[in-house]
């Protein structure tokens, strides 16, 4: 069984999608722990409700040592790190220890509307402002850059002229909640092969 750690910084709706997928039998994996970089977020409450072990590694307290603290909690205990709305940047040492074992979900079709300071509602504001006809979400491996790792899977949604950033965000979120469990399932079934920047689904 695939053992995962889910890292969150906010409401935790993607965490809930993973929990629901495990409970329904769709995913054969276990959430060993949920880690937050902020105090008082609902993502941690979602985990506590389900009896999942939780840790808060507050970025205001740990600052430059945040990655090493999370590494202490996860190394040797989980097979996969899932960033589900996690806003802190993990350092090179952490990424090297979990090379091709860290995935992130981003609310756009990378390489559009991604990179430093592009997260949450800001991504959808930019998509609406730019006038794109399609947006969506991307699950990718995490490397040393910001949203620059190899793309595993994407899901596309239409963008309508009357859309606000909030409306678009909700439409994309529905797809995020499907796509993230799908990718975790592929990894659990060892159906993903990485060849440079190309990710091949077997």
CATH topology match: 1-98 vs 107-202: yes
Q: What is the CATH number of domain 1-98?
A: 3.40.50.170
**What pLDDT does residue 161 have?**
97
The tens digit of pLDDT for each residue in 57-70 reads: 999 999 999 999 99
**What pLDDT does residue 87 have?**
93
Catalytic residues: 106
Burial of 46 (0-12, 13-18, 19+ CB in 10 A): buried
Looking at the chain, the whole-number percentage of residues with pLDDT higher than 90 is 100
**Which CATH number, 3.30.420.40, 3.40.50.170, 3.90.1300.10, 3.20.20.100, labels domain 107-202?**
3.40.50.170
**What pLDDT does residue 129 have?**
98
**What pLDDT does residue 15 have?**
98
- What value does the mean pLDDT take over residues 103-113? 98
The tens digit of pLDDT for each residue in 146-187 reads: 999 999 999 999 999 999 999 999 999 999 999 999 999 999
Could you tell me the pTM of the whole model?
Answer: 0.96
Distance CA 111, CA 25 (A): 33
**What pLDDT does residue 62 have?**
93
Question: Would you kindly state where each structural domain of the chain is located, as residue ranges?
Answer: 1-98, 107-202
């Amino acid at each position: 069984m695939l053992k995962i750690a889910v890292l969150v910084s906010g409401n935790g709706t993607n965490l809930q999608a993973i929990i629901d997928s495990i409970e329904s039998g769709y995913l054969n994996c276990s959430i060993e722990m949920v880690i937050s970089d902020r105090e008082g977020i609902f993502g941690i409450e979602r985990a506590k409700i389900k009896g999942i072990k939780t840790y808060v590694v507050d970025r205001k307290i740990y600052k430059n040592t945040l990655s090493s603290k999370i590494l202490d909690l996860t190394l040797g205990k989980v097979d996969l790190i899932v960033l589900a709305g996690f806003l802190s940047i993990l350092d090179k040492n952490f990424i090297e220890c979990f090379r091709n074992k860290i995935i992130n979900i981003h609310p756009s079709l990378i390489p559009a509307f991604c990179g430093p300071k592009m997260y949450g509602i800001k991504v959808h504001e930019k998509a609406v402002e730019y006038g794109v006809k399609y947006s969506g979400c991307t699950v990718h491996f995490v490397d040393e850059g910001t949203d620059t790792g190899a793309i595993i899977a994407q899901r596309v949604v239409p963008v309508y002229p009357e859309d606000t950033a909030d409306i678009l965000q909700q439409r994309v979120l529905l797809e995020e909640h499907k796509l993230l469990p799908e990718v975790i399932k592929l990894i659990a079934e060892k159906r993903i092969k990485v060849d440079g920047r190309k990710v091949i689904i077997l």
